[in-house]
């Protein structure tokens, strides 16, 4: 059997198109959603992501402003920028690209963002709202994974066994929360998990978010399972190539023979992350301006 491919690139393009139509409607009412992306340092991968966030936000009709700061930026300067963005009525969403260089403290920085503008969903208020089912902003990658799961399996995921591998604040923990909210039976695995292969074999939904290239082997996967591969790992370049290949946490060629459906890397979860960021920015803009989110045909 060969798994169905879950086309995150197409799903993200469709979502961005819907968002662009809604942005056009709110713009007619005088509200142009504004996103500020803050990048501290010169990490090449982060630079690529920040550029693509900027470009896609503009393509959706938003105002997008990137703030690029040197790696040695003092924390006080970064906090000052965040305070100005919090106070700027043209900015509805603020994202500080992670990880931030040492000695900057991630928690202090995220905690300084106005929760209503925290389009990454990482501020403690939004994390708390996710946990108690309130009206916060949801983290982008987990929301994107949920959308792909529902596109694949239908709206009702009740009772399915889900395994999330990874327990980071950015991905593993919020993913587990969203799956619980969707009535799945959820297990969270991590580096101390005893028999990971065995845990995987029980999962109807498998979500590896580890950062270990091709760690999840084909024979770890329950036949017919849905695999959402969050890992983004850049391999060393082949001779004569400038850049190494991007691979996920799953040994794709093996997994595709066993799984029922699987996301590729690239072209799976990654593009959904950015589309969800734009979605959060539009949500934040509508809430800030007291507008209902315009309905558009799906
Ligand atoms: N597609 C996208 O848009 C995004 C992709 N990513 C990618 O997802 C991956 C995870 O990101 P992130 O959550 O930020 O990473 P972190 O490094 O913060 O977390 C990794 C998690 O994996 C666990 N882990 C590490 N090694 C193993 C192992 N051998 N077996 C089981 N668990 C293990 C760690 O366990 P422990 O807690 O015990 O240390 C930790 O919980 C990365 O490849 C990242 O690039 C991330 C965000 C967005
Ligand atoms: N505050 C913060 N929020 C984040 O959401 C955040 C972050 N920091 N730090 C880093 C991770 C990583 N991340 C990705 C986003 C898009 C792709 C993406 O679009 N990937 C393309 C390929 C890109 C390529 O070819 O390099 C794909 O999978 O098809 C990947 C990874 C967001 N992150």
Same domain for 107 and 181? no
Q: Do the domain assignments include residue 95? A: yes
Residue 212 CA to ligand 1 center (angstroms) comes to: 8
Residue 188 is assigned to a structural domain of this protein = yes
Shared-domain flag, residues 64 and 173: no
Q: Please, what is the average pLDDT of the chain? A: 96
Q: What is the pLDDT of residues 160-203, one digit of tens each?
A: 999 999 999 999 999 999 999 999 999 999 999 999 999 999 99
Q: Can you read off the two tokens belonging to residue 217?
A: 């082997």
Same domain assignment for residues 102 and 149: no
Q: Residue 254: inside a domain, yes or no? A: yes
pLDDT digits (tens, 9 = 90+) for 223-262: 999 999 999 999 999 999 988 999 999 999 999 999 999 9
> The domain spanning residue 66 has which CATH number?
3.40.50.10860
Considering the candidates 22, 114, 117, 120, report the single residue annotated as catalytic: 120
DSSP line for 152-182? HH-S--TT-EEEEE---TTTHHHHHHHHHHT
How many CA atoms are closer than 13 Å to the CA of 182, on its beta-carbon side?
A: 24
Residue positions forming the annotated binding site? 166-168
Q: Tell me the binding residues for NADP(+).
A: 166-168
**Looking at the domain assignment, is residue 127 inside a domain?**
no
Within a domain: 284: no
Say which ligand is closest to the CA of 250: 1
Look at residues 115, 130, 162 and tell me which one is the last residue of a structural domain: 115
Catalytic site residue from 22, 53, 114, 249: 53
Which residue of 232, 269, 277 sits with most ligand 2 atoms within 8 Å of its CB, as the best mutation to test the pocket? Answer: 232
Same domain, 94 and 44: yes
Do 160 and 257 reside in the same domain of the chain?
Answer: yes
Quick check: is 53 in a domain?
yes
pLDDT per position as a tens digit, 11-61: 999 999 999 999 999 999 999 999 999 999 999 889 999 999 999 999 999
Domain C-terminal end among 115, 149, 166: 115
244 and 148 together in one domain:
yes
Indicate if 244 and 202 belong to the same structural domain: yes
Tell me if 274 CB under 6 Å of ligand 2: yes
Q: Do 52 and 171 share a domain, yes or no? A: no
* Residue 298 in this model has a pLDDT that exceeds 80: no
Pocket perturbation via mutation, ligand 1, pick of 121, 122, 164, 230 by most ligand atoms within 8 A of CB: 230
Give 295's pLDDT tier (boundaries 50, 70, 90): confident
Domain annotation covers residue 22: no
Quote the tokens at residue 223. 């036949």
Together in a domain, 156 and 233: yes
Task: Judge if 162 and 111 occupy the same domain.
Answer: no
> Closest-lying ligand to the alpha carbon of 264?
2
Please tell me the predicted confidence (pLDDT) of residue 293: 87
Q: Tell whether the model's pLDDT for residue 94 goes beyond 60.
A: yes
Is this prediction's ipTM beyond 0.90? yes
The enclosing domain of 216 has a CATH number of 3.40.50.720
> Where among 66, 99, 115 does a domain terminate?
115
pLDDT at 1 over 80: no
Per the structure, the count of domains in the chain is 2
Query: Do 39 and 160 lie in a common domain?
Result: no
Q: How far is the CA of 8 from the centre of ligand 2 (A)?
A: 13
User: Domain range spanning residue 89?
Assistant: 30-115
Ligand 2 centroid – CA 136 distance (Å): 22
Ligand 2 atom showing the smallest separation from residue 9 Cα: 29
Shared domain check, 147 and 260:
yes
Answer yes or no: is the C-beta of 232 below 6 A from any ligand 1 atom.
Answer: yes
Residue 286 lies in a domain: no
């Amino acid at each position: 059997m060969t798994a169905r491919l879950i086309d995150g690139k197409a799903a993200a393009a469709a979502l961005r198109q819907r968002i662009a139509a809604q942005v056009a409607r709110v713009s007619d009412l005088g509200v142009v959603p504004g996103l500020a992306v803050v990048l501290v340092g010169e990490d090449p991968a982060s630079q690529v992501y920040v550029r693509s966030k900027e470009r896609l936000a503009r393509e959706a009709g938003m105002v997008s402003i990137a703030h690029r700061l040197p790696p040695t930026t003092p924390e006080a300067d970064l906090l000052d920028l965040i305070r100005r963005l919090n106070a700027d009525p043209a900015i509805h969403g603020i994202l500080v690209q992670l990880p931030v260089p040492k000695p900057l403290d991630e928690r202090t920085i995220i905690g300084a963002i106005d929760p209503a503008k925290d389009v990454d969903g990482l501020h403690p208020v939004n994390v708390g709202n996710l946990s108690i089912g309130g009206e916060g902003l949801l983290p982008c990658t987990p929301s994107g994974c949920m959308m792909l799961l529902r596109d694949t399996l239908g709206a009702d995921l009740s009772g399915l066994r889900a395994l999330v591998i990874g327990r980071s604040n950015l991905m593993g923990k919020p993913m587990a929360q969203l799956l619980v909210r969707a009535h799945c039976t959820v297990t969270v695995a991590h580096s101390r998990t005893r028999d990971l292969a065995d845990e995987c074999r029980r999962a109807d939904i498998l979500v590896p978010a580890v950062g270990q290239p091709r760690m999840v082997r084909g024979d770890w996967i329950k036949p017919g399972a849905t695999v959402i591969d969050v890992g983004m790992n850049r391999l060393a370049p082949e001779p004569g190539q400038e850049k190494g290949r991007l691979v996920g946490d799953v040994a794709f060629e093996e997994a595709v023979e066993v799984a029922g459906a699987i996301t590729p890397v690239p072209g799976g979860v990654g593009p959904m992350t950015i589309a969800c960021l734009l979605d959060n920015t539009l949500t934040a803009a509508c809430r800030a301006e007291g507008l209902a989110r315009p309905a558009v045909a799906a």
